Amino acid sequence: MGLVNSQPDCNNRFTNLVHCDCYNASCTVTALDLSSTGLKGEIPKEIGKLTSLAALYLDDNKLQKIPSWLQNLSMLSIM
């Protein structure tokens, strides 16, 4: 799973996505629901960059193990 680095289309009203760049805002991800997304193997390393993550939902996937870097997410209390 790679993160796409592209400019948001701030004038597109047909998207459900809210882009912080469009509002000169600072975004913080505190919850991430990846349930039933077909994840296999390991939890994507990019999640480790979400330092404010408090809740991570991974139900109904085929993950093999919990990676050690997950303990670095000190705000994480729900998994």
pLDDT at 62: 94
Domain boundaries, the chain: 28-72
- pLDDT score of 1: 47
Query: What are the tokens at 55?
Result: 């809740």
Predicted local confidence at residue 15, as pLDDT:
55
Residue 38's pLDDT is what? 92
The pLDDT assigned to 73 comes to 92
Residue 30 CB contacts under 8 Å (≥ 6 apart), including other chains? 52, 53, 54, 55, 75
Summarised one tens digit per residue, pLDDT across range 47-65 is 998 889 999 999 999 999 8
Task: Decide if pLDDT at 4 tops 60.
Answer: no
Mean residue pLDDT of the chain comes to 81
